[in-house]
């Protein structure tokens, strides 16, 4: 545990977070009117944010050292949760991604697994770099095998739910953290060759015979691949109406709580389309600037830190956030496939929001650290 009263929280980080809170609740309030279900999602998002701020304080009180020290325990608990999800969870939209909790809603364990994976990889990379200042090819190979196994367990369990979008985030986090850690380029070349051959083989079977593809991978995976490949046509009710809503907003938008064009998943996947429709091009640009400021702030925090593990952890966090930001906003314009990835801090969702608030707590701890020697340097 650590005392937090004598340290000052970065005001710009706190103000940015409060702006995210306001933007999220306002936009979700506008989006919920398109659902016609009577759900007060804006109020629920406010409650999730309140719980999130409590989590931030707890993380600050506990300290990052304690979290890193118990990273393996968190990793085991996270994977056990994913196993229990596959066994006991009731399917929602043909996927076992959530636990349904009466009176609360749903909890998605894979959202928290992303954070756990960042922490465990940061610890493993830090230990390797400390133990092997000039590693041989053999030492690097066995280290990458270890990393691969660490990532493979939650990736397989998450893929079986199925949730391909989160699996891609796991892999992206891993690649970015290894790159920042200074792993030799030859391993990335080998990795991309393996991925290229793997993806190429899957697509070859898909185009050669749909029936054979379904026999090997199942109908659920076939539908996901089919939807992914069909994205380039920019067709579909959700995408077409989302793009129309963005365009209709013009320079200043239709105004708060005024989204004249309906499209599904407005509160989650297409939250940016709601915001753009309400506040127009000017509002959208201001939101993008705010998001960019937040990302740059994280990068600067990593650069100022005198702790290698902090740099690894922040690189994983920044990589994850930027990918989700680009993916979510890009898919509302038809530039990226629709994968169900939400916009961090803005889209509705308890699990995702709480995971982001855990990130905030970790980042605040890092930003408040003074130049001194840490156990996990």
Q: Give the domain ranges of the chain.
A: 11-368
Average the pLDDT over each of 73-82, 166-175, 363-372 and give the range with the smallest value: 363-372
* Mean pLDDT, all residues of the chain: 87
Q: What length is written for the chain?
A: 377
Q: How confident is the model at residue 230 (pLDDT cuts 50, 70, 90)?
A: low
294 Cβ contact partners less than 8 Å away, ≥ 6 residues apart: 13, 16, 20, 321
Please tell me whether residue 289 adopts helix, strand or coil conformation.
Answer: helix
Instruction: Write down the pLDDT at residue 373.
Output: 45
| Confidence grade of residue 36 (pLDDT, cut at 50, 70, 90) | low
pTM for the model: 0.89
Lowest mean pLDDT among 15-29, 54-68, 94-108: 94-108
Name the one residue in this structure whose structure tokens are 């290698």: 308
CB atoms within 10 A of CB 154: 24
Distance CA 328, CA 27 (A): 15
Sequence-ordered list of residues with C-beta below 8 angstroms from that of 204, at least 6 positions apart, any chain: none
Nearest to 141 by CA among 184, 174, 171: 184
Element (H, E) at 46: helix 41-62
pLDDT at residue 141 in the model = 93
Residue 7 or residue 305, greater confidence: 305
Q: What confidence score (pLDDT) does residue 103 get?
A: 74
More confident residue, 84 or 212: 84
Distance of alpha carbon 12 from alpha carbon 200, whole angstroms: 45
DSSP state of 75: H
pLDDT tens, 319-375? 999 999 999 999 888 888 877 789 999 999 889 999 999 999 999 999 887 544 444
Predicted confidence (pLDDT) at residue 377 exceeds the cutoff of 60:
no
Residue 210 pLDDT class (50, 70, 90 cuts): confident
Question: What are the C-alpha distances in Å from 66 to residues 9, 63, 283, 376?
Answer: 20, 6, 41, 10
- pLDDT higher than 80, residue 169: yes
Any idea of the CA torsion for 61, 64, 66, 72, to the nearest 10 degrees?
140
């Amino acid at each position: 545990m650590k005392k937090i009263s004598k340290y000052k929280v970065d005001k710009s980080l706190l103000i940015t977070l409060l702006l995210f809170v306001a933007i999220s609740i306002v936009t979700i309030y506008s989006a919920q009117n398109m659902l016609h279900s009577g759900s007060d999602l804006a109020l629920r998002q406010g409650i999730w944010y309140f719980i999130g701020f409590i989590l931030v304080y707890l993380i600050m009180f506990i300290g990052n050292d304690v979290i890193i020290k118990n990273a393996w325990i968190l990793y085991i608990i996270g994977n056990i949760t994913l196993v229990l999800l596959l066994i006991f969870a009731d399917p929602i939209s043909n996927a076992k991604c959530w636990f349904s909790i009466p009176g609360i809603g749903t909890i998605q364990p894979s959202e928290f697994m992303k954070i756990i994976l960042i922490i465990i990889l940061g610890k493993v990379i830090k230990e390797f770099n400390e133990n092997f200042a000039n590693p041989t090819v053999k030492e690097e190979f066995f280290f990458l095998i270890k990393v691969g196994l660490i990532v493979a367990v939650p990736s397989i369990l998450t893929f079986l739910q199925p949730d391909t979008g989160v699996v891609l985030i796991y892999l992206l986090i891993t690649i970015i953290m290894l790159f920042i850690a200074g792993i030799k380029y030859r391993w990335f070349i080998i990795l991309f060759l393996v991925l290229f051959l793997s993806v190429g083989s899957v697509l070859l079977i898909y185009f050669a015979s749909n029936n054979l593809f379904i026999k090997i991978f199942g109908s659920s995976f076939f539908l996901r691949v089919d939807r992914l490949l069909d994205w380039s046509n920019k067709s579909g009710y959700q995408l077409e109406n989302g793009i129309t809503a963005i365009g209709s907003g013009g320079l200043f938008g239709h105004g708060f709580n005024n989204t004249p064009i309906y499209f599904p998943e407005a509160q989650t996947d297409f939250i940016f389309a709601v915001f753009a429709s309400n506040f127009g091009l000017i509002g959208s640009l201001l939101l993008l600037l705010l998001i960019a400021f937040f990302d740059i702030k994280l990068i600067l925090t990593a650069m100022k830190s005198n702790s290698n593990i902090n740099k690894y952890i922040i690189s994983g966090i920044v990589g994850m956030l930027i990918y989700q930001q680009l993916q979510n906003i890009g898919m509302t314009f038809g530039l990226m496939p629709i994968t169900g990835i939400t916009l961090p801090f803005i889209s509705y969702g308890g699990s995702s929001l709480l995971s982001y608030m855990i990130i905030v707590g970790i980042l605040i701890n890092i930003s408040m650290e003074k130049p001194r020697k840490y156990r996990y340097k």
